[in-house]
Amino acid sequence: MRKTLLFLLLSVFTFSFSTAIFQDSVNNTVVTTPIQKEKEKLTILTNPVKDGYLKLTFSSSTSNDLNLTIINSLGKQVYNAKRSINSDVQTFDVSKLSTGMYFLRVSTNSSNFVKKLIIR
């Protein structure tokens, strides 16, 4: 449970930055400044999940690969899926999971997300 809470806190405070390098021609010095990338957004289309199919969509996705993990309230991993992002809506069959509250962890090449998921 502590690991899950720590992961949630770290996920909230993690930002995606890249570094731009500029050279000052007068002083001949190199300056590095962080440039914030456009954030990727995850939307859960079916929350709570009622029909056994979890549907997700990404906005401004530059990623090709997706890793989805569902964690129960005890911190145990109960579902894991890896796939390539090939359409706007990603659908996952979670019908074997019992009803309850879970944590959804989604990782792409450029972003990490943790969201609350309810299955009915």
> Can you tell me which residue has the tokens 């792409």?
108
How far apart are the C-alpha atoms of 31 and 107, rounded to whole Å? Answer: 32
Query: Residue 115 carries which side chain, given as an amino acid letter?
Result: K
- Are 56 and 106 in contact by the 8 Å Cβ rule? The answer is yes
Residue-wise pLDDT tens digits, 61-115: 666 788 999 999 999 999 999 998 878 899 999 999 999 999 999 998 888 999 9
Q: What is the pLDDT of residue 32?
A: 56
> Which listed CATH number (2.40.128.130, 3.40.50.300, 3.10.450.50, 2.60.40.2550) goes with 2-119?
2.60.40.2550
So where are the chain's domains? Answer: 2-119
